[in-house]
Amino acid sequence: MRTIEYLTDPALASFFWPVLLTTLVIAILGGSMSWIVVVKRLSFIGQGVSHSAFGGVGIALVVGFTSGSLLGELATATIVLAFSLLAAFGIALLSGRLSARSDTAIGIVLSVAMATGFLLYSLAESIAAQSSAPPPQSLESILFGSVTQIDTFDLILALCALAIVIATLWMRRHRVLFWMFDEAAAPAFGVQVTRERMVVLALLALVVVVTMKLAGVVLATAVLVLPGAIALRLSQQLRPVLCISVLSSVACAIIGLILAFELDTQPGPTIVLTLGALFGATWLPRLQHRSTTASSAPSSQS
């Protein structure tokens, strides 16, 4: 098996182990946030934030920060995170204070950020060609992720993000749960709805930035939606939903990564398709139950 070879060969292990560990941390991150995204119907907002991150990548490329050095990696991650946070808060501002519909606000921010990213990417290509500098990373790897872009820095960044997300959710768990399940009554009990929403959006932006290299800006939303959707198909209780969300995310990440190694496909799309297959499988018992019920029901006679 290629997977065993990649992880045991001394010449390859130093490259593929960071990929595996980073993938597992990202899976835990996605599973931890996914159930919140699904319950609060933030899927479209997550999509807006993930696509908006492309604008931050464009800024980093024009400024001249590229992967290859620790400083460049850190600067790029900081710029993309800042841009994603601005996009998330911009969506909240437009959908709240300006009384715009949420989907309208997301569409505005998403389209403007994506257009900005494409223009800046073209500008970065022109600058690189004129200065004989190395070209920027391929557009395909930015949009759909690339395993070759993941290194030890990404593992460290993912671990830091995981620590921040878990610590924040734990410390604010009562307020976040109040906001999630009874937003209308939350202010009467001292819970600032706007603050909790901003905290969750900031955590979403952080997860998107960490997920980008593996799944890309297009598929990053799937990691934040599918595990929670799977969990809510299997349970309606809080603790089981959280556990199933994380476990399904980790299991599909491992299976998807193995399939990607064995079939020589991109890990990001393969993991997303594995999550999609598991979500589809959660419908089979219900479909089977409906089929059995229909076949056992007496036929009407005229």
Q: Looking at the predicted structure, is the pLDDT value of residue 294 above 80?
A: no
Please tell me the pTM assigned to this model: 0.84
Residue 125 included in any domain? yes
Higher pLDDT, residue 27 or 186: 27
Residue 300 included in any domain? no
Mention every residue, 6+ apart, whose C-beta is less than 8 A from residue 269. 144, 145, 215, 219
Q: What is the pLDDT of residue 286?
A: 61
Residue 107 included in any domain? yes
Residue 183 included in any domain? yes
Res. 236 pLDDT band, cuts 50 70 90 = confident
Distance CA 54, CA 148 (A): 19
Residue 302 included in any domain? no
Total domains present in the chain:
1
Q: What is the pLDDT of residue 255?
A: 94
pLDDT digits (tens, 9 = 90+) for 28-40: 999 999 999 998 8
The whole-chain average pLDDT of the chain stands at 83
**At 194, which CATH number?**
1.10.3470.10
Residue 121 included in any domain? yes
Q: Looking at the predicted structure, is the pLDDT value of residue 114 above 50?
A: yes
Residue 298 included in any domain? no
- Give residue 176's domain range: 2-290
Residue 38 included in any domain? yes
Q: What is the identity of the amino acid at 97?
A: R
Q: What is the pLDDT of residue 289?
A: 52
Q: What is the pLDDT of residue 276?
A: 93
Q: Which region among 64-73, 92-101, 175-184, 190-199 has the lowest average model confidence (pLDDT)? A: 92-101
Q: What is the pLDDT of residue 229?
A: 93
